Chains A and B, each alone.
Chain A
Amino acid sequence: MTKTISVKSFTTKYGLKIFAICFWLLFWEFISKRASIAGYAFLLPSPITVLITLFQLSGTLDFWQTIWFSFARIVFGFFLALTAGTVLAIGASLSLVIKELISPVLKVIKATPVASFIILALMYISSKNLSVMISFLMVLPMVYANVYQGIKSTDNKLLEMAKVFQLSNRKKIKEIYIPAVMPHFVSAVSVGIGFSWKAGVAAEVIGYPSGSIGERLYEAKLYYMFPELFAWTVVIIIISILFEKAVLMLLGLMQHEFSDKKSSHLEG
């Protein structure tokens, strides 16, 4: 069924977004100009300056290698947390012993400041892999809680129906559990991506691994290279947004593909 979007609603939806972005860019430009007049131009570079700096940086191989260094590690930590959080949630839903064993550990992880974890982790692992561990630790409790909640929220009436009709575990998982858990999982992914990026880059700033975005941020701060500082911050934001969109689109495709495949054995 094709969805008709009116020109008016399209304009309203995207027009408002563009207006909001332009508003804040102009606000930034205004504040930057005011700072410049007051003699503090170096403290707040204008959007144009940041854009030019970004463009110049992007012309170097080092820029892309730096992005890859951080991206690969943070994303790895993120996916590790997705897997571990899901497995632990399944285990906790099957066994009270597992649930009670996991609970205090995750409470401690949630309560501990990121900086404490970073400094503690540096005692035991190299700074090169710090962002993997930190993004893992920040996302794990969120994924666990959401997936566990999803499993527990599965409609008991459907499970009873499955018991009466003696549905196989495979069918129960595919047709009952996964549809129940998926919205919770997607929510965890959506929030977790932002968390993993913030925590991962913070870890790199403190741990200072060579060739990382964190190192570039730290150096920019150290040498008062504010346009570079802003440019790298913009890079982090853009990567975070793009990564989130890519993962959610992939999840959406998987859900769609899965719901076609899971039903395909019911076709014919």
Chain B
Amino acid sequence: MDIKISNLSKQFDQKEIFQNINMTFHEGKINCFMGPSGIGKTTLIHILLGLTESDSGEVQGIQGKRISAVFQEDRLIEHLDAVKNIKLVCEKAVPKSIIEQELAKVNLTDYQDKPVKNLSGGMRRRVAIVRAMLAVSDIIIMDEPFKGLDDVLKKRVIEYVKQKSEGKTVIVITHDGEEVRLLDANVVLLDRNTEEQILTIM
């Protein structure tokens, strides 16, 4: 089922974040969610993640579904290493060797026995991405996941995300047209006119 947002509104401290927005994220596809900064994309994502509630409107297609996420901040457990951070969210015991293989796919090798607080920003980002991919989920929501990665690494990580998320509904917040192209994604655009525009990149 597609994720359908109908007439959604949200205010914080009497300041309107968005009002009566409508959009659809297609099931089983990668959907890139774009819009100007400050328009409420992260707030909308937080509503989808169940971290905050909308003031009015409806979201369909998300109830009862397992969600995993890559947050704008990494939100890793600082004193655990990369493998343990990932194992923490895996429902069933995933062998360390499998996790290490997955980390190697995003070019992460020099992380063993180091708490994530000692890793660089780009390394932490990749750990967060692998965590989201390996967690059991029907929907993956990613808030600017490729920020901080250089072009070569970005391509590799995007390929990894495409491969691991096949068949799942993926929502990616991004400002980068190149990322949209590499992800082969539908684009859902949010702007001040609250007109939804859907573009499919061929």
- Point out residues on A near B: beta carbons under 8 Å: 157-158, 160-161, 163-167, 171, 175-176, 179, 259, 263, 266-268
B89 with A157: CB separation less than 8 A: no
B93 in complex: contacting residue of A259, A263, A268, CB < 8 Å:
A268
A259 with B96: CB separation less than 8 A: no
B125-167 Cβ-contact flags toward A at 8 Å (1 or 0): 0000000000100000000000000000000000000000000
Q: A164-B49, A164-B50, A165-B89 are in contact. Are A157 and B75 (CB under 8 A)?
A: yes
A175 in complex: contacting residue of B50, B66, B73, B88, CB < 8 Å:
B88
Name 19 extra pairs, CB < 8 A, besides A171-B88, A179-B77, A268-B93. A157-B71, A157-B73, A157-B75, A158-B77, A160-B51, A161-B69, A164-B51, A164-B68, A164-B69, A165-B68, A165-B88, A175-B77, A175-B88, A176-B77, A179-B79, A259-B79, A266-B80, A266-B87, A267-B96
Q: A157-B75, A158-B77, A160-B51 are in contact. Are A266 and B95 (CB under 8 A)?
A: no
B54-94 Cβ-contact flags toward A at 8 Å (1 or 0): 00000000000011110101010101100110011100010
Q: Which residues of B contact A165 (CB under 8 A)?
A: 68-69, 88-89, 135
A166 with B71: CB separation less than 8 A: no
Q: How many residues of B contact A (CB 8 A)?
A: 22
Complex: A157 Cα to B73 Cα, angstroms: 9
Chain B binding surface, main DSSP class:
loop
- In the assembled complex, the CB of A183 is this many whole angstroms from the nearest CB of chain B, namely 12
Complex: A267 Cα to B88 Cα, angstroms: 10
- Point out residues on B near A: beta carbons under 8 Å: 49-51, 66-69, 71, 73, 75, 77, 79-80, 83-84, 87-89, 93, 95-96, 135
Q: Which residues of B contact A266 (CB under 8 A)?
A: 80, 83-84, 87-88
Complex: A137 Cα to B165 Cα, angstroms: 57
Interface centre among A158, A160, A266 (most CB of B within 10 A): A266
Complex: A157 Cα to B76 Cα, angstroms: 9
Enumerate the 3 nearest inter-chain pairs by beta-carbon distance, A residue then B residue, closest first.
A161-B75, A266-B84, A266-B87
Complex: A268 Cα to B80 Cα, angstroms: 15
Name 8 A/B residue pairs within 8 A (Cβ), A-sorted: A158-B75, A161-B71, A165-B68, A175-B77, A263-B80, A266-B80, A266-B88, A268-B95
Q: Which residues of A contact B77 (CB under 8 A)?
A: 158, 175-176, 179
Complex: A175 Cα to B95 Cα, angstroms: 20
Complex: A259 Cα to B77 Cα, angstroms: 12
Complex: A160 Cα to B51 Cα, angstroms: 7
Q: Which residues of B contact A166 (CB under 8 A)?
A: 66
Q: A175-B80, A175-B88, A259-B79 are in contact. Are A163 and B51 (CB under 8 A)?
A: yes
